[in-house]
Amino acid sequence: MLLKTEHLTKNFGGLTALNKVDFEINEGELVAIIGPNGAGKSTFFNVISGFYRPSSGTIKFMGKEITNLETHNFARLGIGRTFQTTHLFTDSTVLDNLIIGYRSKTKMGFFDAIFYSPRSRREENMCREKAEEILDFIGLLEFKNYPVANISQEAAKRLAIGLALVTEPRLLLLDEPAAGINHGETTNLANLIKKIQQSGITVCLIEHKMKMVMNLAEKIMVLNYGTKIAEGTPKEVSENERVIEAYLGGVEHA
């Protein structure tokens, strides 16, 4: 078991965005989280990636409790993520974005920098090589020198995934990677996600595009009003009464 949450709860003032969620993700799986708008999916990601502190409950990663660690330690332990709204370092190039993504794997500090130590040179090369490797993987190598502001939205989405990949995660959390891109691009993206899983990375996906979810996911968790209402294979979930009700009661999604 890679990640396990127990009674995970997050309150925002009076609002319970997550309500005692128990969930497990096994090594190598491709799981998905679905639910109507405002169900708490992104909040779940924010909590298990250390971005928000949970109000109560625990998070275990590779058997170790990590609930109260600081944000950067989550990434260092191997939890990579993308944000629902594409987050990139907007003032630099595609390559530079990925180079900084590998920083947490390097050790050079102030004195390495000012004396231009062998370590700093070695690590700078390492970052560059890793960045190019990932660029190749996500198919953006030829754009490496473009300013991020100049690439298409779909390329930016890929880059955001690349940015999470460059930290060498064991668990990759993707928050609506296919939102706002067209059909053909969605297929490409689904292939990329499959490829990521095949390379040995566990993937957890939030997505409203049901067809994509049903094709990709091996296991699905359904959230509604912060509560887990169902969990199972795509088939089980799509036949679940409560799920159908939640979706009919809420807003229908494509």
Partner 1 sequence: MLSFLKEHKFKFIGYGLLLIIGIIFPIVSPNRYYLTVATLGFIYAIAVYGLNLIVGYLGQLSLAQAGFFGLGAYTSGLLMLKLDLNFWLALPLAAIITTILAVLVGLISFRTKGHYFVILTLCIGVIINLVIEKWDSLTGGVRGLIGIPLPNPIGPLEFKTLESQYYLVFVFLLITIYVMNRISSSLLGRTFRSIRNSEDLASTLGINVMYNKLLGFAIAAFFTGIAGALYASYIRFLGPEISTHHLTFEFLLFLLIGGQATVAGPLVGTLIASVITESLQFAQEYRMVIFGLMLILIVRFFPGGAVGEARKLKVKVTDFYNRRKAGNYPSGPGAGSSKGKLGVPSKGESHVTKN
Partner 2 sequence: MDLFLQQIVNGLTLGCIYCLVALGLTLIYGIMEVPNFAHGHFYMIGAYVTFFMMTLYGLNYWLSAIIAGIVLAILGVLLERLVFHPMRHTPATNKFIAAVGAMLFLEALARVLWGSDYRNIPSVYDNVVQIAGIRTTEQKLIIIIGAFVLMAALYVFIKKTLIGSTIEAMAQNRDGASLVGIDVNRVAMLTFAVASLLAAAAASLSGPIFLVYPGMGNIIIMKAFVIIVIGGMGSIPGAVIGAFILGMAETMGATYISSSYKDIVAFAILVLILSIRPSGLFARGVR
Q: Which residues bind partner 2 (CB under 8 A)?
A: 11-13, 52-53
Backbone Cα Rg of the chain: 19
Q: Look at residues 123, 145, 121 and name the one whose alpha carbon lies nearest to residue 132.
A: 145
| Cβ distance to partner 1 smaller for residue 5 or 82 | 82
- CB-wise, 34 or 148, nearer to ligand ATP? 34
Near partner 1 by CB under 8 A, which window of 18-26, 137-145, 194-202, 214-222? 137-145
Does residue 150 belong to the site contacting partner 1 (CB under 8 A)?
yes
Binding site residues, ligand ATP, CB under 6 A:
12, 15, 17, 35, 37-43, 84
Considering only residues 6 to 45 of the shown chain, the ones binding partner 1 according to CB under 8 A are none
From ligand ATP, partner 1, Mg ion, none, interface partner of 39 (C-beta below 5 to 8 A by class): ligand ATP
Alpha carbons 162 and 129: distance in angstroms, whole number: 14
Sheet containing 3-12: order of strands: 15-25, 3-12, 56-61, 64-65
* Dist. CA 137–CA 127, nearest whole Å: 15
From CA 199, how far away is CA 134, in angstroms rounded? 12
| Minimum gap (Å) between residue 55 Cβ and partner 2 | 9
Q: 52 vs 247, which CB is nearer to partner 2? A: 52
Reported as type and span, the H/E element at residue 220 is strand 219-224
Of 82 and 120, which has the nearer Cβ to Mg ion?
82
CB-CB neighbours of 25 under 10 Å? 22
CB of 42 to Mg ion, least distance (A): 3
Does position 253 interact with partner 1 (CB under 8 A)? The reply is no
